[in-house]
Chain A
Amino acid sequence: MAVDADGAITAAPGSASLDGQAGSRVDTVQLLTPEGERLEHPDYPLELSADEVKGLYRDLVLVRRIDTEAIALQRQGELGIWASLLGQEAAQVGSGRALGPRDMAFPTYREHGVAWCRGVDPIKLLELYRGVSHGGWDPAEHNFHLYTIVIGAQTLHATGYAMGIQRDGLVGEDGEAAIVYFGDGATSQGDVNEAFIWASVFNAPVVFFCQNNQWAISEPLERQSRIPLYQRASGFGFPGVRVDGNDVFACLAVTRKAMQAAREGQGPTLIEAFTYRMGAHTTTDDPTRYRLAAELEAWKLKDPVERVKAYLVRTGAADQAFFEAIDAEAADVGRGVRQGCLAMPDPDPMAIFENVYSEPNALLAAEREQFAAYLDSFEPEEAR
């Protein structure tokens, strides 16, 4: 037994703990301790080859590198804002790698790690934060929906999409499912609760993946809930499970099982990935105003990347050359993100008028024409 940073008492394996908030018993699925020790859980068996573990480690390192580069780009004025995923890499990579190619993921604006798993070019994510577009990738190409910024709105989209899967007759053997990401703050939104109800009564093939990173900007979890979030699921009539969100193995195993259940027609699951937002809410935020440095230090000891590295070292599955190669690749990815960002052109001013309607709109066309004439009225060197 040990006392966690959040005051919870944890025990291994498959760690059970007492939750400080309600005094109820809280079970957290954990398959890899912060020290890199492998645990077994009776409900979540997981077989991973050494190469698969190395692959997960590579994902974790690279998405962290993308994130770090994006923060630097924002600090240098190249991005308007950035929402860092620091600390949440395991929750995102573990769940992202649990998806099949035909599953559909609905992200918030922080799911850069899931985007990576779905093959979205990081430059496309930067488009949004640089202000070049509201989302540059093709959702159908990656089965990764566009980022949604209004908190919780996408939970209903995912649920409706899952109802579409049902109507397509693609629940069952060889079925498909949707997964939707949201945070602890979002669980207070009406839309999220409505999505729970819809998914439940229609038994929709959707997995609700809540990354409880403990903070909704400055508001702690206590301001959103008196009970552990995963326990809310029981009130809606479907299973809820808490997983160590800094444990990529556990996130992978738990999400795999929930997605398979959804695909087979067993309906929704709520997964609460218990993690921590190591950085600021976004680059405009200053977390020193509302939380203590000691809390951050405690969570650093549970780092999602370091524990996989410790496991690889402990088991002898990877040598120094492997880690150096990954670091070199990360440096390349970081350079690529930087170059891609700097090379990104501003959109043409006339793009404002595009993609508003599916067919020509006379009033919009008139505004467009007037604005074009206005721009043309300037001498070329004045125009931009």
Chain B
Amino acid sequence: MTTLTLSKALNEGLRKSLEADPKVLIMGEDVGKLGGVFRVTDGLQKDFGESRVVDTPLAESGIVGTAIGLALRGYRPVCEIQFDGFVFPAFDQIVSQLAKHRLRSLGRVSMPVVIRIPCGGGIGAVEHHSESPEAYFVHTAGLRVVACSGPADAYTMIQQSIACDDPVIFFEPKRRYWDKADVDTTASLDSALPLNSARIVTEGSDATVIAYGPMLRTCVETAVAAGEDGRALEVIDLRSLSPLDMGTVTASVRKTGRCIVVHEAPVTAGLGAEIAARVTQECFYHLEAPVLRVGGFSTPYPPSRLEEHFLPDLDRVLDAVDRAFAF
């Protein structure tokens, strides 16, 4: 076991993938000499060369579009989009091209492309640097969408995503980049939890709290606080946003009878809405209360002096737990 930050765990995972497969490439803005603005690719260009760790021109559609071409030639590109709000210039290439190549080619052409996106708020940033755009991609068939929440998962999930033959949108919780945890860098990927599986992080019997990415830590802390009030929350780290591991979710909700979904993204047509609909349909007779959502408001992301009000925190999740019990 080694103690690593989430950023360093990703770095180690990328290094493992670059070592394991000469077709793996890293491309993006400032990923080379600088090592990325969050240092996730630190030192990789030095060790693997400019041909495999590519500083690209400053254009996101170009990054994804050329990654598609490289994949057509047999490569496995890992693209870095510098910040969540900068993925939109690449939206067409992701949604209309990357996601659809397998179907368009009747299954002949795979698109093993990973798009890494630092996401979410909480770092006091200017506009476009705190977004949670996951729902756009979850809504797009053909994409896999995952979110890591801590160093250990970051290390394995990035390798699993690179090995995946489908395009993977890989969300990294930027305010958790410096969180530290033990990571077993000697364990085989074969023994890791499959990429499309959710994980029960805290067991409990009274209510199910579903989170992913940056909100996972918030919800684990909420469970500790709720435990002091005598309520046992079961916290699920969704990990895979598309496909959803509904088996894990519904088994938990059937046990607890209450379900609260937490994410930073605005609640309107967000992932919580999808989960609420599915849980309601599949667990209708087990529910003691409606499925509740805790998320960002249905507004543009506010200036950073206001973000603590916009972002769900321990108290807002606890408030939702109270409402679920009061129903």
Query: Which A residues lie at the B interface, using CB under 8 A?
Result: 133-136, 138-140, 145-146, 148, 150, 153, 155-168, 178, 190-191, 194-195, 197-198, 201, 354-359, 361-364
**Smallest distance from the beta carbon of B186 to chain A beta carbons, Å?**
27
Q: Are A363 and B244 in contact (CB under 8 A)?
A: yes
A-B pair count, CB < 8 Å, reads 137
Q: Are B74 and A358 in contact (CB under 8 A)?
A: no
A364 to B68, alpha carbons, bound, how many Å?
Answer: 24
**Smallest distance from the beta carbon of B101 to chain A beta carbons, Å?**
8
A81 to B89, alpha carbons, bound, how many Å?
Answer: 30
**Smallest distance from the beta carbon of A151 to chain B beta carbons, Å?**
10
When C-beta atoms are compared, the residue in chain A nearest to B111 turns out to be: A358
**Smallest distance from the beta carbon of A294 to chain B beta carbons, Å?**
38
A359 to B110, alpha carbons, bound, how many Å?
Answer: 11
Q: Are B144 and A140 in contact (CB under 8 A)?
A: no
Number of interface residues of B (CB under 8 A): 46
When C-beta atoms are compared, the residue in chain B nearest to A178 turns out to be: B69
Is B105 positioned at the interface, with any CB of A under 8 Å from its CB? Answer: yes
Is B247 positioned at the interface, with any CB of A under 8 Å from its CB? Answer: yes
Dominant secondary structure of chain A at its interface with chain B: helix
The residues of B that contact A138 with a CB separation of less than 8 Å are: 105, 108
Segment of B56-64, B122-130, B258-266, B300-308 in the binding face: B56-64
Is B142 positioned at the interface, with any CB of A under 8 Å from its CB? Answer: yes
Q: Of the candidates B67, B105, B142, B165, which one forms a contact with A160 in the assembled complex, judged by CB atoms under 8 Å apart? A: B67
When C-beta atoms are compared, the residue in chain B nearest to A365 turns out to be: B243
Q: Of the candidates A135, A168, A190, A364, which one forms a contact with B105 in the assembled complex, judged by CB atoms under 8 Å apart? A: A135
Query: Which B residues lie at the A interface, using CB under 8 A?
Result: 25, 51, 56-57, 59, 61-62, 64-75, 77, 89, 92-93, 96-97, 100, 102-110, 141-142, 144, 164-166, 243-247
The residues of A that contact B74 with a CB separation of less than 8 Å are: 164
Q: Are A198 and B56 in contact (CB under 8 A)?
A: yes
When C-beta atoms are compared, the residue in chain A nearest to B74 turns out to be: A164
Q: Are A133 and B108 in contact (CB under 8 A)?
A: no
Q: Are B166 and A133 in contact (CB under 8 A)?
A: no
Q: Are A194 and B102 in contact (CB under 8 A)?
A: no
Q: Are B246 and A195 in contact (CB under 8 A)?
A: no
Q: Are B65 and A361 in contact (CB under 8 A)?
A: no
The residues of B that contact A150 with a CB separation of less than 8 Å are: 92, 96-97
Q: Are B92 and A160 in contact (CB under 8 A)?
A: no
Which of B93, B102, B106 has the most chain A CB atoms inside 10 A of its CB?
B106
Q: Of the candidates B59, B106, B244, which one forms a contact with A355 in the assembled complex, judged by CB atoms under 8 Å apart? A: B106
